[in-house]
Amino acid sequence: MRPVLSLIQFDPTYRLCLHSQSTKTKSSYQSSFSRLLKTSNTSTTNSTPSSSDTSSMSSATSIVSSVVGSIVTIVVVIAIIKCIRKNRMQARNTSMQTTSVSVVKDETNINMVTIERFLADIVKERPVRFTTQNIIDFTQNFEQKLGSGGFGIVYKGQLPNGVQIAVKVLHKTQDKRAEEQFMAEIGTIGRTYHINLVQLYGFCFDDTLKALIYEYMEKGSLDSYLFDENQKLKWEKLHEIAIGTAKGIRYLHEECQKKIVHYDIKPGNVLLDTNFSPKVADFGLARLCDRDNSHISLTGGRGTPGYAAPELWMPYPVTHKCDVYSYGMLLFEILGRRRNLILSQAESQEWFPRWIWHKFEGGELDGVMTNCRIEHSNRDKAERMCKVALWCVQYQPDTRPSMNSVVRMLEGEEEIIAPTNPFQYMMSFDGSSSQWSESRGYSTSTTTATNESEANSLIHQNQQ
């Protein structure tokens, strides 16, 4: 048994040689292996046999040594495989630790080395960690405000290499989110790539400042084009934007590594690049931080009134289908190039989605086309859009289509069967006040609003 003992004693040396990353590793294995064999031979020859037993001993010795040799070979091979695996695991862990975030330590100067590392990090799919001073430098002390929303204020900025950025400075909340949890969410958002998603370049997680650094979208958000009389986009372009947006959401739900529910699909979160190509913004934020009170829904602060699915304000389970609902509401607004709720409109058209349902139910989709000023050449696409929107806003989440189906239906690749009434559930409210029921359907954010005017004023507040 001595040779095997020798092997056990030998093992540490052997590990050491595996840990060294020299190219001599293979020869080290070989020399170690021959050392081992030598040990085995030596041990065998050290035991002195009597002369009469020489021939039987020599054949026994050769059997023993060949058995021992085979055992040794097997054990060594297993040990080598184990060590290689272990080494690979260690290498992978180290690289994961370094890829999750990389820190820009230089407080005052962003030199070329930093920039090169930053660009390399982007290529390697990792968001970069910046300091507060970096953010101050990039935004020239928060000089140009782009807008604000439920999570914070957005400023325009520029990296030292000229790349334009949008910096979202997150509200300080009571929620003392742990750094690791923040990093984990950032890791997910930062590794999510699609042509229809706004890219996260980096973040800041200092005591004084928490911020997210995004690619800058030159044309701003879709709402300014949909609802501003002077900035109308052609309907064909809007149709493309609708499909691009659906593809972005489809990626979040069905194609990226970790499924992401957006919770806040709305025209303000569809940003447009120089060519008016759409990119969905703010995905992953719902898990990353709390919203402020301006967008609050009493069931946990998710979604924006008018776009939030019923299950977000009622005690029902919430799934990715809440995004499908919000997308449906967005689709109505794209179709009509108007807000879904305009209280100054004739009462029948006050809440656009329900007006469309009534038209569809009565076989009068032509009236919708005329009302929305949709040219003849676009009517097929617009009709499809109508039906898809009605499917998306179904009350039961399971009845809503997947985003993959949405894309296919909009592109004319999937047949669209006639939608069922998505607003059936509102009938129970209709007895007391039809406007209240529509407000509930639109606003959806409050359970404290006990009357029609209170509900309407909430909707007004949230529309501003």
Q: Active-site residue numbers?
A: 264
Token pair of 113 as six digits: 């080395």
**Considering only 1-9, 144-152, 352-360, 415-423, which stretch makes contact with ligand ATP by CB under 6 A?**
144-152
Strands (E), 61-144: 102-103, 128-130
- The CA distance from 323 to 349, in Å, is 25
Which of Mg ion, ligand ATP, none has residue 32 at its interface (CB below 5 to 8 Å by kind)? Answer: none
Which helix (DSSP H) or strand (DSSP E) does residue 99 occupy? helix 54-100
Which of Mg ion, ligand ATP, none has residue 303 at its interface (CB below 5 to 8 Å by kind)? Answer: none
Q: Select from 3, 149, 305, 310 the one that contacts Mg ion (CB under 5 A).
A: 149
Other C-beta atoms lying within 10 Å of the C-beta of residue 437: 22
Adjacent-strand bridge partners of 212: 168, 203
Has 46 been labeled as part of a binding site?
no
Other C-beta atoms lying within 10 Å of the C-beta of residue 417: 9
> Among 415, 366, 411, which Cα is nearest to 242's?
411
∠ CA 185-190-192 to the nearest 5 degrees?
105
Q: Is the distance from CB of 387 to CB of 396 less than 8 angstroms?
A: no
Q: Select from 39, 40, 221, 456 the one that contacts ligand ATP (CB under 6 A).
A: 221
242 versus 285: smaller Cβ distance to Mg ion: 285
Q: Select from 65, 269, 297, 456 the one that contacts Mg ion (CB under 5 A).
A: 269
DSSP character at residue 66:
H
Q: By CB under 6 A, is residue 271 in contact with ligand ATP?
A: yes
Other C-beta atoms lying within 10 Å of the C-beta of residue 460: 12
Has 124 been labeled as part of a binding site?
no
CA dihedral angle for residue 12, residue 15, residue 19, residue 25, rounded to 10 degrees: 120
108 versus 230: smaller Cβ distance to ligand ATP: 230
Provide, rounded to whole angstroms, the least separation between the CB of residue 133 and Mg ion.
Answer: 26
Q: By CB under 6 A, is residue 295 in contact with ligand ATP?
A: yes
Q: By CB under 6 A, is residue 264 in contact with ligand ATP?
A: yes
What lies within 8 Å, CB to CB, of 88 at 6+ separation is none
Q: Select from 217, 270, 309, 335 the one that contacts ligand ATP (CB under 6 A).
A: 217
**Considering only 39-47, 264-272, 331-339, 432-440, which stretch makes contact with Mg ion by CB under 5 A?**
264-272
Q: Is the distance from CB of 122 to CB of 213 less than 8 angstroms?
A: no
154 versus 455: smaller Cβ distance to Mg ion: 154
Has 266 been labeled as part of a binding site?
no
220 versus 300: smaller Cβ distance to ligand ATP: 220
Provide, rounded to whole angstroms, the least separation between the CB of residue 166 and ligand ATP.
Answer: 3
Q: By CB under 6 A, is residue 214 in contact with ligand ATP?
A: yes
> Among 318, 317, 320, 286, which Cα is nearest to 302's?
286
Is the dihedral angle over the CA atoms 293, 299, 302, 306 positive or is it negative?
A: negative
Q: Select from 121, 185, 215, 282 the one that contacts Mg ion (CB under 5 A).
A: 282
Binding residues for ATP: 168
- The contact set with Mg ion (CB under 5 A) reads 149, 269, 282
Footprint of ligand ATP (CB under 6 A): 146-151, 154, 166, 168, 198, 214, 216-217, 220-221, 264, 268-269, 271, 281-282, 295, 304
